[in-house]
Amino acid sequence: MSATTANNVPVVKKSKLGSLERQRLWSVRGSFAALSVFVVIFLIPPFYMIMTSLKSSAEISAQKGNPWIVQNPTLDNFIHLATDASFQRYFLNSVWVTALVVVLSMTIAILAAFSLSRMGFKGATVLSTGVFLTYLVPPSLLFIPLFQIVGSLGLINNTWVLVLLFPTLAVPFCTWIMIGYFNSIPKELDEAALIDGASYPQILILIFIPVALPGIIAATIFAFTVAWGGFLYPLAYLYSSDQATLTVGIVRELIRGDVFAWGMIMAACVMAAAPPVIVYTFLMDYYVAGLTAGATKG
């Protein structure tokens, strides 16, 4: 029964929200619930890593207490690593290898993508598909045949081998992202520049690179991740301590036989993870924009 006023006029109870808004509210709640599950799953390992890195060895091996909480936080692990000469060496190796790989890969990828997207030569379409197909070959299949090549070049146990090999992983995908991005730039833009008097290199440098900056940043992040986080190739080709990068250095240095220096392993992981986290945080918006542009127009 509907409520009535003194004058017998029926009053319809009105909800604060329309049905469409209510539906939207529920879908927002639903997606938050689903996403929370994933967030928890993905954040547990880094959380545990940070907690452990702040514990002393005694606390790690203690049977009592909640393993998720630090009782007596200490920076000993970090200080020990930061002052350790080999760890500094690994870090430095990772930095220069990554920097060179990023510069080299992006230079090749941008030039390749520009010519595949714009120069319109015969076979450009087949070639750009080919570029992507090479990305689909898993690196784990390649490291044995590559050993032969690297060996014949005399690069076994030489950090420079990574500057040669990481671009083979980074260039195809970066080129693919850049082709998609360049293709989304209207053809009239380079035609206008051609008529304005620009040469192809000028079109690339003055028009394409600034316009495609989000795509370039996305590809750069990818190349950075490949070089910084690469494990298989450094493990396979670098065996002496002074040549190793961070990823294999941590494993070799801090796991001796069956003795795991857990506190220091975790502290090293935190320090190794810091640069990508910082890079991602600052460039996140560009990264998303770059990937979607490549995806829809590629």
Residues that bind another protein (CB under 8 A): 186, 188-189, 191-199, 202, 206-207, 210-211
Q: Residue 188 or residue 258: which is nearer to another protein going by CB? A: 188
Between 146 and 178, name the residue whose CB sits nearer to another protein: 178
Encoding tokens for residue 29?
A: 């709640």
Cβ atoms of 176 and 131 within 8 Å: the answer is yes
Amino acid (one-letter) located at 248:
V
To another protein, the closest distance from the beta carbon of 112 in angstroms equals 22
Q: What is the CA radius of gyration of the chain?
A: 27
Q: Which is nearer to another protein, 215 or 230 (CB)?
A: 215
Residue 260 bridge partners (DSSP) = 255
Cα(70)–Cα(217) distance, integer angstroms: 38
* Choice between 134 and 184, CB closer to another protein: 184
Report the nearest approach of another protein to the CB of residue 290 (Å): 16
User: Min. distance of Cβ 190 from another protein in angstroms?
Assistant: 9
* Least CB distance to another protein at residue 213 (A): 8
Name the residue nearer to another protein (CB basis): 50 or 213.
Answer: 213
Q: How far apart are CB 224 and another protein at their closest, in Å?
A: 24
B/e letters for 6-40, b = 16+ CB within 10 Å, e = fewer, are eeeeeeeeeeeeeeeeeeeeeeeeeeeeeeeeeee
